[in-house]
Amino acid sequence: MIVAFVLLLVVIGSVGFHLISPWWWTPIASNWGYIDDTINLTFWITGFVFVAVLTFMAYCVFRFRHTKGHKAHYEPESAKLEIWLSVLTSLGVIAMLTPGLFVWYQFITVPDGADEFEVLGQQWMWSYRYPGKDGRLGKTDPRNVTADNPFGIDTADPAGQDDVLVQGEDLHLPLDRPVKFLLRSLDVLHDFYVPQFRAKMDMIPGMITYFWITPTRTGTFDILCAELCGVGHHAMRGIVVVEEESAYKDWLAQQPTFAQSLAKANAGTRRVSTLNAGGSVR
């Protein structure tokens, strides 16, 4: 009696908690509302199963609990029932998987004409590189990394000279333009994650990974590292500013190109390398 009641309370409590919980998605700031929709659909389907199965169980516990003289019914199996249940479950699975795969296809298919830029992760900081006037990012290799060339850009590649480098500063993105994030790491795995964008992807030394989004509202959002990357993992933060395209362009124009920063370094005003800045976390 009590047991059946508590089981029922667990069901009611779970659903109730879900309905009144103040903890839910942070408001979205990208085009991936489809992901939220898929999750809501999944909630409906699985929530129904959760309530149905556990309520049925609570009922059984209530109705068929042992009383004197009561005897169980003998019924080894029922092929018909099992087939019905398999079919219904399969339908539920298909209902969730189909939209899921459809949205996944969109997620991995970058629209033509998306802007590209690079995020560089290293213990425990973020840096960014934009392609500059020629619209192309220069080649890189970790073997090229020095204090003056923290991105490891190939100095022989002309496409690299006008690349715009952003270090120790916030990331800026223009509103409403599809943008492809090219993700690169110098040392260990990291993961570029902005909760409001509903997107994240690991960064792997030796590889370039990507995802794409279209920012849909202006604002300032946290960037977090979502793949354990050592003792400073939780402190590997950044900020992304989504703004109107004109403001974005003004900001970008103020950032140094690779050629400029090299020239500055060669002019003898050797700045202290920012490379080791992250080391202070330890």
Partner 1 sequence: MADVTNRDIDYVAPAEVEEEELYHAHSWITKYVFSQDAKVIAIQYSLTAIAIGLVGLVLSWLMRLQLGFPDYFSFIDAEHYYQFITMHGMIMVVYLLTALFLGGFGNYFIPLMVGARDMVFPYVNMLSFWIYLIAVLVLVASFFVEGGPTGAGWTLYPPQTILSGTPGSDGGIVLMLVSLALFIVGFTMGGLNYVVTVLQGRTRGMTMMRLPLTVWGIFIATILALLAFPALFVGAIMMLFDKLLGTSFFMPAIVELGEQLSYGGGSPLLFQHLFWFFGHPEVYIVALPAFGIVSDLISVHARKNIFGYRMMVWALVAIGGLSFIVWAHHMYVSGMNPYFGFFFATTTLIIAIPTALKVYNWVLTLWQGDIHLTLPMLFALAFIVTFVNGGITGLFLGNVVVDVPLSDTMFVVAHFHMVMGVAPLLVIFGSIYHWYPKITGRMLNEGMGQFHFWVTFLGAYAIFFPMHYLGFLGVPRRYYEIGETMFVPDSAQTLSAFITVMTLIVGFSQVVFLFNLVWSLFHGEKADPNPWRATTLEWQTPETPPGHGNFGKALPIVYRWAYDYSVPGAKEDFIPQNMPPSKVSGKKKTKPRRAKRK
The reply to whether omega before 124 is within 30° of 0 (cis) is yes
Say which DSSP state 144 is in. Answer: G
Binding status of residue 179 toward partner 1 by CB under 8 A: no
Give the footprint of partner 1 on residues 243-272 (CB under 8 A): none
Binding status of residue 16 toward partner 1 by CB under 8 A: no
Give the up-direction half-sphere exposure of residue 209: CA atoms within 13 A in the CB hemisphere: 15
Between 21 and 280, whose beta carbon lies closer to Cu ion? 280
Name the binder of 204 from partner 1, Cu ion, none, CB < 5-8 A by kind: partner 1
Name the binder of 236 from partner 1, Cu ion, none, CB < 5-8 A by kind: Cu ion
Q: Which residues contact 222 (CB under 8 A, 6 or more apart)?
A: 194, 195, 237, 238, 239, 240
Q: Nearest approach, Cβ of 5 to Cu ion (angstroms)?
A: 35
Binding status of residue 229 toward Cu ion by CB under 5 A: yes
d(CA 26, CA 202): 21
Give the footprint of partner 1 on residues 190-209 (CB under 8 A): 191, 193, 195-196, 198-207, 209
Binding status of residue 236 toward Cu ion by CB under 5 A: yes
What residues does 192 pair with on adjacent strands? 201, 225
Q: Nearest approach, Cβ of 158 to partner 1 (angstroms)?
A: 24
CB 145 within 8 A of CB 156: no
The correct pick among 58, 173, 223, 225 for binding Cu ion (CB under 5 A) is 225
Give the footprint of Cu ion on residues 162-221 (CB under 5 A): 190
Q: Nearest approach, Cβ of 121 to Cu ion (angstroms)?
A: 6
Token pair, residue 278, equals 């992250």
Name the binder of 98 from Cu ion, partner 1, none, CB < 5-8 A by kind: none
The correct pick among 73, 112, 156, 269 for binding partner 1 (CB under 8 A) is 73
CB 119 within 8 A of CB 203: yes
User: Hey, what amino acid is at 103?
Assistant: V
Binding status of residue 143 toward partner 1 by CB under 8 A: yes
CA angle 164, 169, 172 (to 5 degrees): 65
